[in-house]
Chains A and B, each alone.
Chain A
Amino acid sequence: MTTATTLKLNLGPQHPSTHGVLRLILELDGEKILSCEPDIGYLHRGMEKMAEGLTYIQYLPTVDRIDYLAGCFYSELLCRSVEKAMNVELSERVKTIRVILLELNRIASHLLWIGAFLMDLGAISPFFYAMREREMILRYFEKLTGQRMMYNYFVFGGVRSDIDYLEEIEEIIKILPSKIKDYEKIITDNPIFLRRTKGKGVLEQEVAFNNSITGVNLRASGINYDLRCSDYLYRDFDFSPVVLEGKDSWTRYKARILELKESLKIIGQGLEKLKSNEKFEQNLINPLTVKLPEGEYYNEIEAPRGLASIYIKSTGGDKPYRLKWRTGSYYSVNMLRHLLVGEYLNDAIAIAGSLDIILPEVDK
């Protein structure tokens, strides 16, 4: 309903703060948003259709690219589906290695979010500080896997090689808590930051629930739903999910900061486990003969941007008959439709930023 007094604004697909190529069709009255219509698909690479033409091992290297900031989680999902379907048990050490790498990846992802969110709010320094710490993690991944983002480190039945350079992880978990303290000093109680995030973008429990919001966004609305609690990989780890009651942008920020600390705790426990269990054994599946028995397979995991899951329908061949991904950001993008209405343009950017939307993960 465009009238002469309203302004229709295409925010994106090329825009500095849409974190990729999201297009928001906004209707503005002055700077007040009357309606918002997210338009996605500018980064669609056909990840799901592609799977139907590739064998499982051919498909495995590509799944990291679903979410370039947290690739491990998607490798893990595909590996897990194959392992469960073929009844392969992982050895204890491999499980621990996977948990450590997943959590490191989660930390890297959250750090980038903190930087990008503050960049959306107009503060430049936190971005570089967060990138500096993320760089330590990426350097470690580079050393271990040869890649900074698309690790392709998990394979069916195990990992590519035994974990190494543990002293670097120890260094990371030693340094990060003090750096997180620094972030909190410069960000958390900053009056301008508080004004722009407290009470902004309130996500009510019911709305979040009805729109399938998961992950930190849901937990910051006061719903205790963390898949890691029931995940078999995390069974022997002692941690508590971060659940906060605030429902607004600020709480989502705080929840991610707290989650960083939880992840560090998990990694610390993982390192202890590795030290007590030196024997590296794997139950590798020969990738050339992977055939999933006929049937449907569903697996899920707690990714940094919410619940990620994979659904595979197999007819018994060496390729999936149908493969479907479920990713967290996809549902967060949909929330923009409700959250942005009635806000001013520059608050809208802050709210959209607080939901942690990553476009490759939305479009797949």
Chain B
Amino acid sequence: MNYLYHLYMEFLANYNIPKLFGDITFYILPFCILALALLVVVLALVLIERKLLGWLTQRKGPNRVGLWGVLQTLADAFKLLIKENVTPDKADKFLFNLAPILVFIPAMTVLGIIPYSSEFSFVNTSTNVILYLILVAFPILSIFLGGWASNNKYSLLGGMRAVAQVLSYEIPITFVVLSVVTLASSMNMTGITLAQYSKTGLFGWFCFPCILGFIIMFICILAELNRCPFDLPEAESELICGYNTEYSGMRFALFYLTEYALLFVNAIFLSIMFLGGYLSPFGVYLSNLFCANMHTAQILVYFEQAFWLILKASLIIFVIIWIRATLPRLASFDLLKFSWAILLPLSILNLFAVVIYKFISGGAVCVLS
């Protein structure tokens, strides 16, 4: 991030602001920006989902608040903020209040380890894929905690379903991630992204040698996110609202926020693993092609990289919403059976196939930044 650092210091020096201030804020500022960006992303995602579902089901979706309803989710969020926080009488009050916070923190943290562009990744550890897997699996514990502490039978059943579901779908995900790590010879998301670089653009992406893994991972992500057709933990026609039945006001908003933040993060992770992350699908960045003469070209490249990543994630999110509009819910027994009897063997098979592929192709050249 040296380039950005110098740029920032230069900017501050122009206004005679002490260097110490810049040194401190340079590391804090991105996180504040990220937190705000997350809120915007979530608000946008909720609106997009409602609009898309509306169109897919012959309705108009929200169209009253603001132009084309763009302010609808903002109004909803405001309503949740001013609503009373009700704690059920017989609930375990401490745990009940703790669960929404615990569910929110990992979802926020995980955003910091994602490489949005080649220079823009806040926490870049050498094995951040593993860190990611841990952080993303963490909210499920809080979901169970919330379900149990509510002292509501529907919440309890929802929490139980969530734990059973996520446990069984974590394992295929781990195997698939392992195969990607093998392909890339790296446990770092930036490393994995760069390993997918090729002159031919999108043909270097891992979704081609590892197509089976891509499909398995996509299915598992649906299950991890409790999305249709795996939305059993919050099946509204069975468990009213599942684990968050008793939550209201801001606490409910935190659960809701986490759900969409995780949707965004998982889609990003999937594009990093298989769709080349922030790499351009044309093999060469458009801003290098067209604006190479401008002295801000390097900054433009960063924005373009973030644009590609978010575009890929958006496509994945679109498919996820599309699936929600199409499929009914799985039966609870089938859900577990599908993971253990089909996805798990397939993911192991995928790992073997990838290892053999890697052996034959003589080991891809690993380009680390």
Interface residues of A (CB under 8 A from B): 7, 9, 15-17, 30-31, 118-125, 127-129, 132, 186, 190, 192-193, 195-196, 344-347, 349
Are A345 and B157 in touch, CB under 8 angstroms?
Answer: yes
Measured between alpha carbons, how far is A15 from B154 in the docked complex, in Å? 11
Shortest distance from the beta carbon of B1 to any chain A beta carbon, whole Å: 44
Given A16-B237, A120-B237, A195-B334, CB of A346 within 8 Å of CB of B232: yes
Q: What's the nearest-Cβ distance from chain B to residue A199, in Å?
A: 11
In the complex, what's the smallest C-beta–C-beta distance from B302 to chain A, in angstroms? 39
With A122-B228, A125-B57 known to touch, is A15 a contact of B240 (CB < 8 Å)?
yes
**Residue among B53, B232, B326 with most chain A CB within 10 A:** B326
Q: Pick the contact of A349 from B237, B327, B333 — CB < 8 Å?
A: B237
Report Cα–Cα, A9/B329, bound state, in Å.
Answer: 22
* Chain A residue nearest to B56 in the complex (CB): A125
User: In the complex, are the beta carbons of B326 and A346 less than 8 A apart?
Assistant: no
Supply 15 A–B pairs (Cβ within 8 Å), ascending by A.
A9-B153, A9-B154, A17-B237, A30-B160, A121-B329, A122-B231, A124-B57, A124-B325, A125-B325, A132-B58, A193-B328, A196-B328, A346-B331, A346-B332, A349-B238
Q: Could you say which of A119, A125, A195, A347 has the most chain B C-beta atoms within 10 Å of its C-beta? A: A125
A196 proximity list for chain B (CB < 8 A): 328-331
B243 to chain A, nearest CB (A): 15
B332/A122 in contact, CB under 8 A? no
CB distance from A8 to the nearest CB of B (A): 8
Flag if B333 contacts A190 (CB, 8 Å): no
Q: Kindly provide the distance from the CB of B342 to the nearest chain A CB, expressed in whole angstroms.
A: 13
Bound: A346/B329 CA distance, A:
9
Q: Which residues of B contact A (CB under 8 A)?
A: 53, 56-59, 153-154, 157, 160-161, 228-229, 231-232, 235-238, 240, 324-334
Find out whether the CB atom of A344 lies under 8 angstroms from the CB atom of B327. no
Q: For A129, list chain B residues within 8 Å (CB).
A: 57-58
Please report the C-alpha to C-alpha distance between residue A9 and residue B160 in the assembled complex, in whole angstroms: 15
**Bound state CA distance, A118 and B236, in angstroms?**
13
Total cross-chain contacts (CB, 8 A): 77
CB distance from B212 to the nearest CB of A (A): 19
Instruction: Establish whether residues A186 and B238, one from each chain, have CB atoms under 8 Å apart when the complex forms.
Output: no
* Cα–Cα distance between A30 and B156 once the two chains are bound (Å): 10
Residues from chain B with Cβ under 8 Å of A190 in the complex:
327-328
Query: Told that A122-B329, A128-B58, A196-B330 touch, could you supply 7 new A-B pairs with CB distance under 8 A?
Result: A16-B240, A17-B238, A118-B328, A190-B327, A196-B331, A346-B331, A346-B332
B331 touches A195 (CB 8 A): yes
Which residue of A is nearest B53, CB measured?
A: A124
Contact: A192 with B229, CB < 8 Å? Answer: yes
Pick from A16, A125, A127, A128: contact of B326, CB under 8 Å: A125
A interface, by DSSP: helix, strand, loop or mixed?
helix
Closest to A350 in B: B331
| Chain B: CB-nearest residue to A191 | B327
Kindly state the separation between the CA atoms of A44 and B241 in the bound complex, as whole angstroms. 28
Q: Is the CB of B324 within 8 A of A345?
A: no
Min CB–CB distance B324 → chain A (angstroms):
7
**Which chain B residues border A122 with CB–CB below 8 Å?**
228-229, 231, 235, 237, 327-329
User: Closest 6 CB pairs between A and B?
Assistant: A122-B329, A123-B328, A128-B57, A121-B328, A17-B237, A122-B328
Which one of B53, B161, B238 has the highest number of Cβ atoms from chain A below 10 Å of its Cβ? B238
Closest A residue to B331 by CB, please name it: A196
Chain B residues contacting A192 (CB-CB under 8 Å) are: 229, 327-330
Q: Is the CB–CB distance between B59 and A123 below 8 Å?
A: no
- B160 proximity list for chain A (CB < 8 A): 30
Which residue on chain B has the smallest CB distance to residue A192?
B328
**How far, in Å, is B255 (CB) from chain A's closest CB?**
19
Docked CA distance A171–B161 (Å):
47
Does A124 lie within 8 Å of B59, measured CB to CB?
no
With known contacts A9-B153, A122-B231, A124-B57, A16–B236 Cβ distance under 8 A: yes
Query: B332 and A123: CB pair below 8 A?
Result: no
What separation, in Å, do the CA atoms of A346 and B231 have in the docked complex?
A: 12
- Residues of B within 8 Å of A195, CB to CB, are 330-331, 334
| Chain B residue at smallest Cβ distance from A348 | B238
Of A31, A193, A344, chain B has the most CB atoms within 10 Å of the CB of: A31
How far is B328's CA from A125's CA once the two chains are assembled, in angstroms?
9
B153 pairs with A345, CB closer than 8 A: no
Distance of A65 Cα from B312 Cα, bound (Å):
53
Residues of B within 8 A of A193 (CB): 328
* Minimal beta-carbon separation of A229 from chain B (angstroms): 34
Q: Are B238 and A345 in contact, with the CB atoms below 8 A? A: yes
Find A119's partner among B59, B237, B326 (CB 8 Å cutoff). Answer: B237
Chain A nearest CB from B292 CB (Å) reads: 48
A132 and B57 alpha carbons, distance in the complex (Å): 10
**Closest approach, in angstroms, between the C-beta of B332 and any C-beta of chain A?**
5
- In whole angstroms, how far apart are the Cα atoms of A345 and B240 in the complex? 13
B88 → A minimal CB distance (Å): 16
Distance in angstroms from A126 CB to nearest chain B CB is 9
A120 proximity list for chain B (CB < 8 A): 237
| CB of B34 to closest CB in A, whole Å | 33
Question: How far is B157's CA from A346's CA once the two chains are assembled, in angstroms?
Answer: 11
Within the complex, the shortest CB–CB distance from A121 to chain B, in Å, comes to 4
In the docked arrangement, what's the CA distance between A125 and B238, Å?
18
> What is the bound-complex CA distance between A261 and B325, given in angstroms?
26
CB distance from B52 to the nearest CB of A (A): 12
With A9-B153, A128-B59 in contact, do A346 and B235 touch (Cβ < 8 Å)? yes
User: What residues on A are CB-neighbors of B324 within 8 Å?
Assistant: 124
Residues of chain B with a CB closer than 8 A to A132's CB: 58
Closest chain B residue to A121 by CB distance? B328
CB-based contact A346/B238 at 8 Å:
yes
Chain A residues, CB < 8 A from B153: 7, 9
Enumerate chain B residues within 8 angstroms of A125, measured Cβ to Cβ.
56-57, 325-326
CA distance A141 to B60 in the complex (A): 25
Contact between chains at A123 and B326 (CB < 8 Å): yes
The docked-state distance in angstroms from the alpha carbon of A15 to that of B157 is 15
Q: Which residues of chain B come closer than 8 Å to A128, judged between CB atoms?
A: 57-59
Give the docked Cα–Cα distance between A91 and B228 (Å).
Answer: 54
- Complexed CA–CA distance, A121 and B240 (Å): 13
In the complex, what residue of chain A is closest to B57 when comparing beta carbons? A128
Contacts of B331 in A (CB 8 A): 195-196, 344, 346-347
CA distance A17 to B237 in the complex (A): 5
| B65 → A minimal CB distance (Å) | 22
Chain B neighbourhood of A119, CB < 8 A: 237
Contact B228 A344 (CB under 8 A): no
Closest residue of chain A to B334 (Cβ to Cβ) is A195
The answer to whether A345 and B332 touch (CB under 8 A), given A128-B57, A129-B57, A192-B229, is: yes
Max count, chain A CB within 10 A of own CB: residue among B53, B56, B57, B334: B57
